[in-house]
Amino acid sequence: MQKILIIIFSCFFISKLSAQVVFNTSYHNLGEVNKADKKYFDFTFTNAGKEKATILRLEEPYGIDVKFSKKEILPDSTIIVRIKYTPKKKGKFKKDIPIWVNVNNEPITLTIEGDAKTFNINESTECPEIKVQTKPTEERKNVKIKVVDINTKKPIKNATVQIIWDGLNYKALQTDKKGFVIQSLKWDNYYFVVNAENYGAKEKDFELNSENDYIEFELGEPTEEEVIAAKEDTVVEELVVIEPADTISTKELPVNLFAPNNVVFCIDASVSMKQEGRMDLLKASMIELLNGLRPIDKLAIVTYASNVTTVLKSEYVTDKAKITELIQELTAGGYTAGSKGIKKAYQIARANKIEEGNNQVIIATDGGFILKGNDILENVAQNYEKGVSISVVGVKNKKTTVKSMSSIAETGHGNYIHIESYSQAKKVLMDEIKTNSRKSK
């Protein structure tokens, strides 16, 4: 299982400019499968590089049939991978389908599961043909990215442009001698991280639509605010750890050094989290933490906006592909109802408490909490007495909100954590979990 997870996440991470195939999801649950149900699901493969990619071969477990809309994937194009399961008996099923692509070092493993309530021994196992639409199913457009010197306005050659999409590093590009790079993308929200040698880095959120297809970065000496943000970055002593020989530890959390974790995320999904790339930074941070968690760790996700929603019930971290998909699908909209979200998160944390483990709620928000005349602090104190701590993550929040966030963290014997940049997002949550789950000597 660990090998499959490594494969899945390596396919998502684009660190080279050569071809690389990424996918919309690696997992789908058909749910209850009855006689009239279609019994198949369409995955998509997208070539995120500059070279043509080719499907080489695949393994089809019993009952599985696979069809491709095409076997060759041109740069910046997408193909459909249709997978059908035809049950020949009742009961639950789970099938892994490895697919080898010439530009990937390891196979992409897709998983389909469900619960067959009926079956027909004579039913055809053949997957339906894929009818390719003549019109595109999604709008795409070239976005033009320019990088210049903040003082001279001259173009910067070979600047690195990272495109973050739903918390994952989707593209890594370089500017030409005129400081430009052009990339075809679907209409959506993105987060750009741009840096160049001797210039430092700049970050910016970007929405690609019919009227917005140009973004410019000025690199140079950091501003006063960036210097302050860098100083606020949490620094945790790194442990020098020999690669674990057991099958439970991860490189970040060896079982001999860190206790099991019961973590409940309480995510602000109000409309303001859409702005300034806040949700992208949070997703990147959550996915980075997820990669380092172990099968002995539990994770749950609660969101709050106009309503409180349990996105992921508390479960052991054994299916990272599924949880990654849930994180990527987080959206923002509505007003903030933080008090109700915190109460729900605590309820889940207490119900899934790990004795002698780190039981922790992590609130992630861009705004402050109204504490006057509110029962939040009282609720936080009571839950700490029951063995659940709380930390607060401020995502590009204003300085005026720090006081209320810190009050909650201090009352709940946790920490206030600030995320202002992509580099911070990639480390702060794991640092926090290490701090709270480290075993005493």
In which band, very low, low, confident or very high, does the pLDDT at 234 lie, cut at 50, 70 and 90? very low
Chain segment 336-378, per-residue pLDDT in tens: 556 788 899 999 999 999 999 999 999 998 875 655 546 788 8
Neighbours of 201 (CB within 10 A): 18
Q: What does the pLDDT average to over 160-181?
A: 88
- How is residue 305 written in tokens? 């906006």
- How is residue 436 written in tokens? 């709270």
pLDDT at residue number 166? 80
Asked whether the beta carbons of 325 and 25 are under 8 A apart, the reply is yes
- The whole-angstrom separation of Cα 327 and Cα 330 is 5
- The whole-angstrom separation of Cα 236 and Cα 193 is 24
- The whole-angstrom separation of Cα 286 and Cα 280 is 10
Fold topology of 140-221: Immunoglobulin-like (2.60.40)
Chain segment 125-168, per-residue pLDDT in tens: 899 998 765 444 457 788 999 999 988 899 999 999 999 888 77
Residue 384 has pLDDT above 90, yes or no: yes
pLDDT at residue number 15? 36
Residues of the chain with CATH 2.60.40.1120: 140-221
What is the percent of the chain where pLDDT is above 70? 84
Task: Pick the closest to residue 84 from 123, 131, 45 (CA basis).
Answer: 123
- How is residue 105 written in tokens? 């070092």
Residue 264 has pLDDT above 50, yes or no: yes
CATH number belonging to domain 2-116: 2.60.40.10
Mean pLDDT score of the chain, rounded to an integer? 83
pLDDT at residue number 230? 46
Range name among 276-280, 373-377, 406-410, 427-431 with the lowest pLDDT average: 373-377
Q: Which residues contact 303 (CB under 8 A, 6 or more apart)?
A: 266, 267, 268, 269, 309, 311, 330, 341
Residues of the chain with CATH 2.60.40.10: 2-116
- The whole-angstrom separation of Cα 272 and Cα 305 is 10
Strands (E), 241-293: 261-268
**Cα 139 to the center of its chain, rounded Å:** 23
Residue 16 has pLDDT above 50, yes or no: no
Domain 228-437 has CATH 3.40.50.410: yes
Q: Which secondary-structure segment (H or E) carries 247?
A: none
Q: Which residues contact 375 (CB under 8 A, 6 or more apart)?
A: 339
Angle, CA 255 vertex, CA 440 and CA 441 arms, to 5°? 15
pLDDT at residue number 99? 93
DSSP class of residue 257 equals T
Angle, CA 17 vertex, CA 16 and CA 22 arms, to 5°? 75
- The whole-angstrom separation of Cα 32 and Cα 93 is 11
Residue 23 has pLDDT above 60, yes or no: yes
Asked whether the beta carbons of 350 and 313 are under 8 A apart, the reply is no
- How is residue 138 written in tokens? 């999604």
Task: Pick the closest to residue 412 from 352, 371, 373 (CA basis).
Answer: 371
pLDDT at residue number 348? 95
Q: Which amino acid is at 144?
A: K
pTM, two decimals, is: 0.61
Q: What does the pLDDT average to over 78-97?
A: 92
pLDDT at residue number 423? 87
- The whole-angstrom separation of Cα 333 and Cα 337 is 12
What is the percent of the chain where pLDDT is above 90? 42
pLDDT at residue number 208? 86
Q: What does the pLDDT average to over 78-104?
A: 91
- Summary count for the chain: helices (H), strands (E): 9, 22
pLDDT at residue number 136? 44
Going from the C-alpha of 163 to that of each of 79, 141, 174, 229, 338, the distances in angstroms are 21, 15, 11, 22, 31
